[in-house]
Amino acid sequence: MDPQKRLTLISKHLLSRFPEIPISDTLTSYRKKTSFDSSSLRNLIYGGRSSIVEEMISYMMESQSLFDHYKETHLSIPEYRELILRQILATYGKILSNPSYNKDDINHIMAVLHGMNLYSQSFAARLMVHLILCFGMTELGHGTNVAALETTAVYDHKTRGFILNSPTSTSAKWWIGAMGKTADMAVIFAQLFVEGVNRGVHAFAVRIRNKTTHDPMPGVTVGDCGMKNGLNGIDNGFILFKDYFVPYDALLDRISHISNEGKFKSIIKNNEKRLGIMLLSLMGGRISCIGSTSISMHLSLTIAIRFSATRKQFSSTGVKDTESAVIEYQTQKYRIFPHLAKFFVFISSYHKVKSWALSLKQKILNDPENEEITEIHAILASMKPVGTWYANETIQACREACGGLAYSVYSQFARIRNDQDIQVTWEGDNHVLLQQTARFILKQFQKYFKGIRITVPTLSFMIPDSEKLKELKGSFSSLEDLENIDCLVSMLEYKFNYLLHEAIARIKENAGKYSEISQTWNNSQIFYLQELPKAYIEIFMINTLIEDQEKLDNSETKEMIKWFIQLYALEKIRKDLEIYMVRYLSYEQGKLIKDKIFELCDKIGNFAVDLIDAIAPPDFILSSILAMSDGQIYKHIISTIEKSPETYEKASFLKTINEMRTLAK
């Protein structure tokens, strides 16, 4: 558009064409209801590292020309990708060079990435890709089944190097972040052949583009995978190799190497076990996935709660000619608050596994088969699926709770949902990951029958004896009894053990039907082995929040977090009442659980706005027309829509409209 014309249109919009909007004091009235220690709550959400996150956010607020969700909405994909790179450049210059930032402190790195994620997953994910090169594992034909990757790296002893080839179309590396347009180096996973023998999948650091001209190297074909549902700030690409030579130093040889005599050597002889240990490198990716997932929940719940406290419809009290904020309605509370409980449980567990994994860094290098490493791997392999499903459920529930206005791109729900969606399939397909945790649990169960004591702390509640399990009964008889955290956790533990014995019975049944172990395993998944890891991680997560809640000093905040612990457990139990009703609970107890859920939702409703205020990012970061901290939703909706020069323009396709009118005659 002509610059002068654009300026004229914008100047016209400086004065709204809408009638003046009365100032709403609804959020203010909710804020007057309660008060509590926001610092302890922020420390819980940000893992005690809120200062570096706030510094990151403050910086982005100062750089408004680069960080502006409204402008990003209207950019082409190439423009958006360039903007993301400029944001990264600015971050390097302002934050990563700041004296208060310690590049050797992984907690600082994670905190800054968390701050970036609050603004945009595209921004944070693109920076992570930049820091680790591009990660060439996934192929067009194989994603989850890494052992079956088709790219080959054949060792040539004469040149002391490797020849890389993509022998089939499906061997093309696919969806590789930064490969489409940006990266000149990549870590490539390929089947290593030495003296004609396949030694399994190994990783190679490979130059893919000329550093000076940015042209693909001879023997390398690279391309862009095109537009995606979300995260379009990242240029995902594909790559093919044709007799491409790389020197020996390209092999990442911490576990395996080739001697000067051309013989393959490895500290781990078994190909499958070696690959499993190599894939421990994905642990960091899964932790980052969990962290960014918690942010998607955080942002969605912030928008939904603020909107619900501001939006008025009908009357919840029956008083004529008055309307009530929709947060007063039981239906709205139940649509949102159980998801808020899931968020608190999940974010608390994220900080725990992050710290735990960092403490094991040296142990992973020295003793990758250690039981503690196996345990945290099992936790991440179930926490990532459960958490990413939580997030998708939460985003959709919050979007629906905000009604039709949430369908606007300026509500930010579309961005949050589309960017989050990939989390359920990258860093491991959710359903396949759950099988890894199921195997871990069953191996621990087998120890009992071999006379070996189960020493894994997160499985201390396992009941291998099915007869003992049958003796257990729900021990509550009133709403007050359901405030007992031990009572609630014991019910979740019962569900785990029930599912454990049901899964084992299913496996035994299928073992008589099928000749292959793999068939028995694959046909014991739905309703059995897939549910067992979910029950396991629920217990781990709720216990983590219980630990954090007990450490809180402020009694009011401590009590409120207890409500979320109760609500999380009770909602999980309610959803699985079919299991409990077999022999553990009565109909009357099931009704008490439902009544307690509604009671807790009412309690949380009084605190919800203050709670969200305490943990919400600044308006500039959230950038939702439905959830600005001043509560003036209609003002922000109108001003945002009127900001567009096209709002009051005639249709550019007026000629086609006239043709349609002619046709209608």
Q: In this predicted model, what pLDDT tens digit does every residue of 199-229 receive, in sequence order?
A: 999 999 999 999 999 999 999 999 999 999 9
Q: Taking the CA of residue 16 as centre, how many other CA atoms within 13 Å lie in the half-sphere pointing to its CB?
A: 13
CA–CA distance, 151 with 189 (Å, rounded to integer): 7
Distance CA 147, CA 200 (A): 7
- In the chain, where the domains are located: 134-267, 281-615
pLDDT given at position 419? 94
Q: What is the pLDDT of residue 14?
A: 58
Please say whether the beta carbons of 156 and 198 come within 8 A. Answer: no
Stretches in the chain below the pLDDT threshold 70: 1-14, 50-51, 96-104, 131, 133, 281, 320-321, 365, 665
Which residues are tagged catalytic? Answer: 427
pLDDT at residue 155, rounded to an integer = 97
Q: Tokens 């750089």 identify what position?
A: 63
Tokens for 392? Answer: 């998708």
The residues, any chain, with a CB within 8 Å of residue 601's CB and separated by 6 or more, are: 330, 333, 334, 337, 338, 567
Asked whether residue 318 is marked as a ligand-binding residue, the answer is no
CATH class, range 281-615: mainly alpha
Rounded to whole angstroms, the Cα distance separating 280 from 271 reads 15
CATH class of segment(s) 134-267:
mainly beta
pLDDT of residue 54: 72
Rg (CA), the chain: 28
Question: So what's the pLDDT on residue 80?
Answer: 94
Give the contacts of 329 (CB within 8 A, at least 6 positions apart).
Answer: 316
Alpha carbon 471 to its chain centroid, in Å, reads 39
* Residue 138 assigned ligand-binding role: yes
Task: Return the residue matching tokens 């594992």.
Answer: 137
Helix and strand counts by DSSP (H, E) for the chain: 25, 13
Output the pLDDT for position 90.
83
| Dihedral-angle region of residue 509 (phi above 0 means left; psi in -120 to 50 means alpha; beta otherwise) | alpha
First to last CA, the chain: 34
